[in-house]
Structure 1
Amino acid sequence: MPATLRRAPSRGVEWEFEKLTIARDFSRNVVAKMLVDRAEHGGWELDRVRVAPDGTRRVVLRRKIIRMRPTLYAAD
């Protein structure tokens, strides 16, 4: 189950992070396809991958948070 966090590492840019733990049972190709799918359809990019001694992968994905600013609309 992914955990989602938010933080602002630099000025003006806010990132949303998602942590995944992937079991060692999945092949490298399956994991790559899953991450590519998340990147294409969810806007995520790879931030970090760590492989534990038991073979599980801990993956951190990130994406920019885009804030919409309200615009003033003057009705005539």
Structure 2
Amino acid sequence: MTVVPGGGAPTVPTPGDKWHKSSYSANGGNCVEAREHTGGADVRDTQNRAAGYLEFTGGEWAALVNAVRGL
């Protein structure tokens, strides 16, 4: 995982890769957004987008998703 500070330029995503809100986020304001791309995925805080994001490789992202799913 890499921390990309606010204003950091993504290295792998293309302009067509769009951020989307997690389906597990409630409407209470504590939300995260993700965007998947060929290199993995990025995750950021919906309320603080300018702070940057976390960048995951494909293997890291798969491990996180599998852990959350309990696999």
TM-score by length of 2: 0.29
Instruction: Judging by fraction of residues, say which structure has more strand.
Output: 1
Instruction: Judging by fraction of residues, say which structure has more helix.
Output: 2
TM-score by length of 1: 0.28
